[in-house]
Amino acid sequence: MIVGDRKPFEEIKESLAGYRKVLVLGCGTCVSVCMAGGEKEVELLASQLRMSSKLDGNEMEVGEETLVRQCDREYIEPIIEKAREYDAVLSMACGAGVQLVADVLAPLPVVPALNTRFIGVAEGEGVWVERCRACGNCVVGLYAGVCPIARCPKSILNGPCGGSSGGRCETDPDRECAWALILDRLTKQGKLDSILGVAPPKDFSAQDNPGKRVNEAYVKPETAEAHK
């Protein structure tokens, strides 16, 4: 799940300066789960914008819409005509969603309302933690299901470091040491010998920037050449 946080309200207001009609566009998938950009968050932000603009004496017309997800063109296309009735779109999606909406609705201005944080999981109620950096060459299978790239602040492949103490990370005593977790889990699996050697440097060559993945089974023949 992609985790995001809403930008400060004053920053959002400043980014919308000069626009009279704004569509607040929510995303019903990842950022909805982390309570940053779903339907309820759209309603709240839209209400804040209306009240604030009225108090400022520069009343803004604010519309609301929440898509299933903004990172898929088929969900954006049905609201194209509605979106073009506005001066700008305020996207409450992750960075990927914001950019696709901007592509589909171009040249209509699309402004982000969130800061994209990381790919993570729900650790508890209202708590999300990073678990993946999308590095393109997953090594989790070598480390008992614990990613040292994402979960160790130093991204150490040969650990633990000298700062680890009592199963805690030296960067934050409230943070579990990823390598303590790795060693404990491998011990319980009877596979501690698997990391006795020195791991080679991480291969980041698979992390193509910007990344692209094409599944040939789903590509239509008439568009195949364009994807090569």
Q: Where are the domains of the chain?
A: 2-118, 134-195
Q: Which of 120, 133, 143 is nearest to 195 (CA)?
A: 143
Q: What is the pLDDT, as a whole number, of residue 202?
A: 83
Q: What is the pLDDT, as a whole number, of residue 136?
A: 85
Report yes or no: 31 and 92 within 8 Å, Cβ to Cβ.
yes
Assign domain 2-118 to a CATH class: alpha beta
46, 49, 52, 54 alpha-carbon torsion, rounded to 10°? -90
- Rounded to whole angstroms, how far apart are CA atoms 177 and 207? 26
pLDDT bracket for residue 98 (50, 70, 90): very high
Mean pLDDT of 20-27: 98
What does pTM read for this prediction?
A: 0.84
Q: If DSSP codes are grouped into helix, strand and coil, which group holds residue 90? A: strand
pLDDT tens digits for range 126-162 = 999 999 998 888 889 899 999 999 999 999 999 999 9
pLDDT bracket for residue 225 (50, 70, 90): low
Q: Which of 116, 114, 91 is nearest to 104 (CA)?
A: 91
Report yes or no: 27 and 94 within 8 Å, Cβ to Cβ.
yes
Across the beta sheet with 127-132, what order do the strands follow? 2-6, 114-124, 127-132
Q: What is the pLDDT, as a whole number, of residue 135?
A: 87
Q: Which helix (H) or strand (E) holds 47?
A: helix 39-55
pLDDT bracket for residue 228 (50, 70, 90): low
Q: What is the pLDDT, as a whole number, of residue 214?
A: 83
pLDDT bracket for residue 211 (50, 70, 90): confident
Tokens matching residue 77: 């296309």
Q: What is the DSSP letter of 165?
A: B
Count of other CB atoms within 10 angstroms of residue 216:
7
Question: Minimum mean pLDDT among 36-40, 81-85, 101-105, 164-168: which range?
Answer: 164-168
Q: What is the pLDDT, as a whole number, of residue 227?
A: 53
Report yes or no: 80 and 111 within 8 Å, Cβ to Cβ.
no
